[in-house]
A and B are shown apart, each in its own frame.
Chain A
Amino acid sequence: MHGSTRPVFLNLLQIRLPVAGVLSIAHRVSGVLLFLALPLLIGLLELALSGEAGFARVAALLHGVGGWTARFLLSWALLHHLLAGVRYLLIDADLGVQAPLYRQSAWAVLAGAPLLALLLAGGLG
């Protein structure tokens, strides 16, 4: 970019990103979120394994507003990353590369992940 006189316009609030671009950014955001959550998840696993008191403590932590929010957010991150990842693998295999399909599948993942996360966060009690 150095020395170039081409106009650069990177205002993220005004760029109209195609849906596949939104999906790509969300793929990275969800990946980084899962990466940052590693110590939290490992800590919960260790606590739940530590004995029945620790297990009950984890169950209590996962309930409540904070627990539900964390569960929903991480469920979304996992499901989005998983579904978008499957979509990328299919596109790598030349499946669903064509014009309407790649856009429809991007919409399906963007909408499907939070819905499934809601189901998961609600269902895992």
Chain B
Amino acid sequence: MTARRLAGFRAWLWQRATAVYVGLFAIYLLGRLATAPFESAAGLRRWLSGTTVWVAFGLFVVAVLLHAWIGVRDVILDYVKPPALRLALLAAVMLFLAGNGLWLAAILMEVR
């Protein structure tokens, strides 16, 4: 019980820590798009491959994946009760997130 409660509290804490980073990066991204929209593929590539943005974007990807996993997992645990269906859905969500993460990692490696 203690371990389970700890796991729940740790998830709660990670959910908030990642939320702060994702939120700050989202605000930066919206501001960037609003004040200086990208005009070309070359411009977009230049922006993404710069060291600061590249690292910050990589962290953003990790934070989003973690945040989405905890959030969607909570929704599934609340609404899906049959154990087999629950397990299948959680596995599908994990595969989906891993796939998207690998895709983004490939894009980040490619622009660099």
Interface residues of A (CB under 8 A from B): 28, 31-32, 34-35, 38-39, 42, 45-46, 48-52, 54-55, 78, 82, 85-86, 89, 92, 120, 123-125
Q: Is the CB of A54 within 8 A of B41?
A: yes
Chain B interface residue count, CB cutoff 8 Å, equals 29
Q: In the bound complex, what is the Cα–Cα distance between A39 and B27 (angstroms)?
A: 21
- Do A50 and B41 touch across chains, with their CB atoms under 8 A apart? yes
Contact flags B65-104 to A (C-beta < 8 A → 1, else 0): 0001001100100000000000000000000110010011
Given contacts A49-B48, A78-B26, contact A125 B41 (CB under 8 A): no
The digit string for B29-52, where 1 denotes a CB below 8 A from any CB of A, is 010011001101110110010000
Secondary structure dominating the interface of B: helix
B positions within 8 Å CB-CB of A: 16, 19-20, 23, 26-27, 30, 33-34, 37-38, 40-42, 44-45, 48, 68, 71-72, 75, 96-97, 100, 103-104, 107, 110-111
| Cβ–Cβ contact B41 & A48, under 8 A | yes
> Knowing A28-B75, A35-B72 touch, does A125 contact B100 (C-beta < 8 A)?
no
Q: How far is the CA of A125 from the CA of B45 in the complex (A)?
A: 20
Min CB–CB distance A41 → chain B (angstroms): 9
Check if B71 sits within 8 Å of A31, measured CB to CB: yes
Q: Is the CB of A89 within 8 A of B19?
A: yes
Report B106 CB to chain A, min CB distance, Å.
Answer: 9
Q: Are B26 and A45 in contact (CB under 8 A)?
A: no
